[in-house]
Chains A and B, each alone.
Chain A
């Protein structure tokens, strides 16, 4: 049996929020300096985001899912246009990441509320 390592995909809302934090801090190049993640690149990190969003689509809901995907596309364009982080576009891209974070935080809070209600019942 092959024991090939798996590609990490954020599987919960909480993990997606952590992923957005990584995108916020590592943008615009997403290059890892520890040397442990040589594959990290904009394509790789955005790929993980899209796959993670797809996994949690039922929790997020169709409308919010579409909104986040559109925002992610916009952020990607801005990061690509400012790889040196010196013309302000990467900064605009980070603002979009914060908007995505707000949407997922809303989902997270709803999720928590539902869980609490279930426990009380």
Chain B
């Protein structure tokens, strides 16, 4: 008992030491910042030698001559942005008036900066831990979420030292996490909040009265994309709602499309109209053939990015007879993100769309902004989008009880996992490292079965989907009429799921048992490794009662 008490005390002492260390760091940062800003509050806006030159990064044109930002930007590809509103997107760089050393006039909204009212930024609940005490004046920190994003904050810190507030744009690298406190290796019911991890964007920003002044192009470049209404002047009249609508609006804006075109395209996508309907309308407005082709490409890309349902994966279900086998769509149960993952830029555009969709449904859903590793290659970008897409399905299920998207995401996950499990089991069998009781088929089949049984609950746990009710793994499905039960590998809403190596048809006893259960599934999905050939996985429709 005494040993345990000692350990607790030692734990608290260690915690205390850590906090003191952290406090020292924060004080040091504030001191450094105060000395930086003491003589030159606008040092961030001053010109520096470009990277790659002998004096790269150093202040240039200092002294009385200077205080002017370089007029020339590095060459950039032409961006046919929509016509800017003169008051918001002016055309040249800020001119900071020459002044005596140690004093630089605060730049006002100049032709190359944007000045937006502060009220456009929502105050965010995120708080920064600043455990200051004693004589140190407690700084006021205000964080505002930038509209149209879920991970970009405008952070304003006022040290109450008479020098005004410092502002910066910061990206949330990792959101605040609540984790259980562990004492003596045991998790307790108490929770600790690890503050969010923020990354400061290299964008000069000042708050002048009620306005935020910054260069919209710098912000778009540092954040990685345009923010309608923040870095570009126009926003579509029709607000995009789904991820694919966001992607469409984003790509059309990049093409320089006007508001009318963006709205028409979003409506076309939302109402599932034909390509021709939009093309005809655009031709009537005098859009050139080349532009028309680009717009239609953007529309097709957005359509290809839409959240799939079981009907997308098994299109023939709609016309299938009861009690028959329905093969998966051409190409099998897998997803290709195609052109979207060819660049980080387009991946981020779609990812932001999905994140906004999730955020609009459940603002508390814990999601992480993509890391560099997530965006490194087309494969990692695909994997990241797959995870986001599954999260979107989970949020639809949690908030609306709608299993439609979750069924399809489960199917896509299972096919990938079944294929991997089969490959791993085959590899181990080939190396004589798998335990064999009866035969190769039994050994490989059992291994695959158990691997997937292990993976599916983790898939749901990662999505925050509780098992039981509509989503079940390896649970009994009773048939009260004859007091029997069956155990499908999984169930998502009215769909029972089984993974196997053996082909099972509609007359298989187990499949008949599934359909006879009280949950009365409308479909049974059978997942078999793709390595076994075309149409290895399939659906079985409910037979006539």
Is the A/B pair a real complex?
Answer: yes
**Inter-chain contacts of B362 with A (CB < 8 A):** 3
Contact flags A1-16 to B (C-beta < 8 A → 1, else 0) = 1111111101000010
Give complex CA distance A98, B428 in Å. Answer: 13
- In the complex, what residues of A have CB within 8 A of residue B398's CB? 3
Q: Are B451 and A22 in contact (CB under 8 A)?
A: yes
With A3-B364, A35-B386 already in contact, the answer to whether A15 and B380 are too (CB < 8 A) is: no
Cα–Cα distance between A19 and B461 once the two chains are bound (Å):
15
- State the CA gap A22–B417 with chains docked (Å): 12
Least distance between B350 CB and chain A CB atoms (Å): 16
Which residues from A are CB-within-8-Å of B453?
18
Interface band, chain B: 35 or more
Residues of the B chain whose Cβ atoms lie less than 8 Å from the Cβ of A36:
383, 386-387, 390, 413, 416-417, 459, 462
Do A21 and B462 have beta carbons less than 8 Å apart? no
Our pick among B364, B420, B450 for the contact of A33 (Cβ within 8 Å) is: B420
Q: Is A91 a contact partner of B420 (Cβ separation < 8 A)?
A: no
Interface check A87, CB cutoff 8 A: no
In the bound complex, do residue A19 and residue B454 qualify as a contact, i.e. CB atoms below 8 Å apart?
yes
What are the residues of chain A within 8 A of B383 when measuring CB–CB? 34-36, 38
In B7-47, the 8 Å CB interface with A consists of: none
Q: Which residues of B contact A38 (CB under 8 A)?
A: 373-374, 383, 387
On whether the beta carbons of B428 and A25 are closer than 8 Å, the reply is yes
Partner pick for A18 among B424, B428, B450, CB 8 A cutoff: B450
B387: chain A residues at CB < 8 Å are 35-36, 38
Known: A8-B457, A8-B462, A18-B450. Is A2-B435 also a contact (CB below 8 A)?
no
Question: Known: A2-B366, A4-B178. Is A35-B450 also a contact (CB below 8 A)?
Answer: no
Q: What is the count of residue pairs linking A and B with beta-carbon distances less than 8 angstroms?
A: 87
Chain B, 72-106, CB within 8 A of any chain A CB = none
**A71 to B463 Cα, complex, angstroms:** 32
Give the docked Cα–Cα distance between A35 and B463 (Å). 14
B454-474 at interface with A (beta carbon < 8 Å): 454-455, 457-459, 461-464
Q: Which residues of A contact B231 (CB under 8 A)?
A: none
Interface pair A91/B454, CB less than 8 Å apart: no
Complex: chain B residue closest to A26, CB-CB: B424
When each residue 25-58 of chain A gets 1 if its CB lies under 8 Å from chain B and 0 otherwise, what string results? 1100000111111100000000000000000000
- Assembled-state Cα–Cα distance A38/B464 (Å): 16
Instruction: Report the bound CA distance from A120 to B517 in whole Å.
Output: 26
> What CA separation (Å) do A111 and B313 show in the bound complex?
41
A37 touching B458 in the complex, CB below 8 Å, given contacts A2-B178, A3-B398, A22-B451: yes
Is B450 a contact of A21 with CB atoms below 8 Å?
yes
Q: What are 7 contact pairs spanning A and B, CB under 8 A? A: A5-B461, A5-B463, A15-B454, A18-B454, A21-B450, A25-B425, A98-B435
